A and B are shown apart, each in its own frame.
Chain A
Amino acid sequence: MTLREQIKQVIDDEPVAIFIKGTPQAPACGNSMRALQALRSAGAPITAVDILPDPQIRQELSSLTDWPTIPQVFVKGELIGGADITEELYASGELQRRLDEALGADREQTVKVVAVTAVTAAGATAA
């Protein structure tokens, strides 16, 4: 799968996907931390992708979503927004309402990390 296809798969298949700088345990950016905090407070399951290992991840993501900044939050494949919108929706109760509607009120609050990687020329040859 290409990098773009892997990114698309995470967005489409994960209940709540978030693309961040760093990891949920150690976010490397204040905005990623703000969005994670809002999701946690809203009781969201979290599937996180760290965009820092390869600049191509952010390029492909932003070209796919037409959204220039990090973090990016998706619920059931739909872009919710970045840190500001996620916080705003949490504060108004709208985030919880959307999560209840999409995933049910008795959802499990799991946290996982998924890695996406560009297939390098060397890797392709080796395979």
Chain B
Amino acid sequence: MAAETISALLEDALPGSEVAVVDRTGGGDHFHVTVVSSAFDGLSLVEQHRLVNRALAAPLADGTIHELRITTKGTR
């Protein structure tokens, strides 16, 4: 899966967020996503990561994403 596809899924689910996706191994299945979004304001880290996991639920469930590292930040 291309990093751009992951970015698009995150931007669709969290409109207006700043998204950076790194393919950690170049193999298209180990990613590190960094998302800065106002949608995270006031949420715990667990809740913030849940939003990211939900946006990527399909590729996570079918194994397209084998490993996912997540860094999230609110805007406040």
Interface size on A (CB < 8 Å)?
15
The answer to whether A84 touches B57, judged by C-beta atoms less than 8 angstroms apart, is no
The docked-state distance in angstroms from the alpha carbon of A31 to that of B70 is: 12
Task: Let me know if B49 and A84 touch, CB within 8 A.
Answer: yes
Contacts of A80 in B (CB 8 A): 46
> Which of B46, B57, B60 is packed against the most chain A CB atoms within 10 Å?
B46
Interface 1/0 per residue, B48-72 and A, CB below 8 Å? 0110010001001100000111110
- Contact indicator B68/A89 (Cβ below 8 Å): no
Give every chain A residue within 8 A of B67 (Cβ-Cβ).
30-31
Bin the interface of chain B by size: 10 to 19
Complex interface bits, A68-101 against B, C-beta within 8 A gives 1, otherwise 0 = 1100000000011111110011000000000000
Contact of B70 among A30, A84, A89 (CB under 8 A): A84
B69:A84 contact, CB within 8 angstroms = yes
Q: A68 to B49: give the CA distance in the assembly, Å.
A: 10
Q: Is the CB of A79 within 8 A of B57?
A: no
CA separation between A3 and B50, bound complex, in Å? 24
User: Which chain A residues lie closer than 8 Å to B60 at the CB level?
Assistant: 68-69
**With a CB–CB cut-off of 8 A, which chain A residues contact B2?**
none
Closest approach, in angstroms, between the C-beta of B32 and any C-beta of chain A? Answer: 9
Q: Cβ of B8 < 8 Å from any Cβ of A?
A: no
Which positions in A face B, CB cutoff 8 Å?
30-31, 66-69, 79-85, 88-89
Would you give 29 A-B contacts (Cβ < 8 Å), ordered by A? A30-B67, A31-B67, A31-B69, A66-B50, A67-B50, A67-B53, A68-B53, A68-B57, A68-B60, A68-B61, A69-B53, A69-B60, A80-B46, A81-B45, A81-B46, A81-B49, A82-B49, A82-B70, A83-B69, A84-B49, A84-B69, A84-B70, A84-B71, A85-B45, A85-B46, A85-B49, A88-B45, A88-B71, A89-B45
